[in-house]
Structure 1
Amino acid sequence: MDIVEKVKSEYKKHYESDAEKLFFSPGRVNLIGEHTDYNGGHVFPCAISLGTYAAAAPRTDSKISCYSLNMAEKGIITADINSITNKKEQDWANYLLGVIKIFQEHGFVFGHGFNVVIYGNLPGGAGLSSSASLEVLTAMILKEFYGLAIDRLEMAKLCQKAENQFVGMNCGILDQFAVAMGKKDYAMFLDCNTLKYRYVKLELADCCIVITNTNSKHSLVDSAYNERRSQCEQALADIKQLKKVDSLGELNEAEFNQVKQAIKDPTCVKRARHAVLENQRTIKAVAALENSDIALFGKLMNESHVSLRDDYEVTGRELDTLAELAWQQNGVIGSRMTGGGFGGCTVSIVKNDCVESFKHNISEKYTQIIGHKPDFYVADIDDGTKIIK
Structure 2
Amino acid sequence: MKQQVLDCFAKLFGGEGDIRTYFAPGRVNLIGEHTDYNGGHVFPCALTIGTYMAARKREDRKLRFYSMNFEKLGVVESSLDEFQMGKEGNWTAYPKGMMWAFCQKGFPVEQGFDIVLYGNIPNGSGLSSSASVETVTGVMLRDMFGYDTISMIDIALYGQFSENNYNGVNCGIMDQFAIAMGKKDCAIFLDTSDLKYEYAPVKLEGARIVISCSNKKRGLGDSKYNERRSECETALAEIQKVKDIKSLGELTEEEFEAVKDAIKDPVRQKRAKHAVYENQRTVQAVAALKANDIAKFGELMNASHVSLRDDYEVTGIELDTLVEEAWNCPGVIGSRMTGAGFGGCTVSIVKTEDIDNFIAKVGAAYKEKIGYAADFYVVDIGDGAGVLK
Q: TM-score, normalised by structure 2?
A: 0.98
Listed one character per residue, the Cα deviations across residues 115-157 of structure 1 (whole Å, up to 9, x for unaligned) are 1100111100100000000000000010010001200001100
Residue 37 of structure 1: CA displacement? Answer: 0.1
Residue 87 of structure 1: CA displacement? Answer: 6.4
When residues 349 and 244 of structure 1 are mapped into structure 2, their CA distance, relative to the original with a 3 A threshold, is same
- How many percent identity over aligned positions? 53
- Could you tell me which amino acid in structure 2 is paired with residue 14 of structure 1? L
Conserved? CA contact 2:235–2:269, under 8 Å: yes
Q: 1:4 aligns with which of 2, 5, 16?
A: 2
- Could you tell me which amino acid in structure 1 is paired with residue 388 of structure 2? I
> After the TM superposition, which segments of 4 or more aligned residues of structure 1 sit over 6 Å from their partners?
none
- Could you tell me which amino acid in structure 1 is paired with residue 278 of structure 2? E
Give SS of 2:70's match: helix
What does 1:97-246 correspond to in 2, within 5 Å? 97-148=96-147, 149-246=149-246
Give SS of 1:167's match: coil
What corresponds to 2:354 in structure 1?
354
- Could you tell me which amino acid in structure 2 is paired with residue 159 of structure 1? G
Residue 82 of structure 1: CA displacement? Answer: 4.0
What corresponds to 1:56 in structure 2?
55
Conserved? CA contact 2:56–2:113, under 8 Å: yes
What corresponds to 1:311 in structure 2?
311
What corresponds to 2:344 in structure 1?
344
Conserved? CA contact 1:34–1:338, under 8 Å: yes
- Segments of structure 1 that go 5 or more residues without pairing to the other structure are none
1:253 lines up with 2:226 in the alignment: no
Conserved? CA contact 2:86–2:167, under 8 Å: no
Residue 373 of structure 1: CA displacement? Answer: 1.3
- Could you tell me which amino acid in structure 1 is paired with residue 99 of structure 2? I
Listed one character per residue, the Cα deviations across residues 44-81 of structure 1 (whole Å, up to 9, x for unaligned) are 00000111111111111111211111112122222222
Residue 204 of structure 1: CA displacement? Answer: 1.1
Conserved? CA contact 2:102–2:109, under 8 Å: no
When residues 127 and 323 of structure 1 are mapped into structure 2, their CA distance, relative to the original with a 3 A threshold, is same
What corresponds to 1:67 in structure 2?
66
When residues 89 and 104 of structure 1 are mapped into structure 2, their CA distance, relative to the original with a 3 A threshold, is closer
Conserved? CA contact 1:77–1:90, under 8 Å: no
Separation (CA, whole Å) in 2 of partners of 1:191 and 1:254: 20
Separation (CA, whole Å) in 2 of partners of 1:151 and 1:380: 25
Separation (CA, whole Å) in 1 of partners of 2:229 and 2:316: 18
Separation (CA, whole Å) in 1 of partners of 2:348 and 2:109: 43
Separation (CA, whole Å) in 2 of partners of 1:89 and 1:334: 39
- Segments of structure 2 that go 5 or more residues without pairing to the other structure are none
Q: TM-score, normalised by structure 1?
A: 0.98
Conserved? CA contact 1:65–1:114, under 8 Å: yes
- Could you tell me which amino acid in structure 1 is paired with residue 36 of structure 2? D
Q: Which moved more, 1:76-85 or 1:190-199?
A: 76-85
| Aligned residues between the structures | 387
Separation (CA, whole Å) in 2 of partners of 1:239 and 1:152: 35
Residue 267 of structure 1: CA displacement? Answer: 0.6
- Could you tell me which amino acid in structure 2 is paired with residue 145 of structure 1? M
Separation (CA, whole Å) in 2 of partners of 1:180 and 1:259: 37
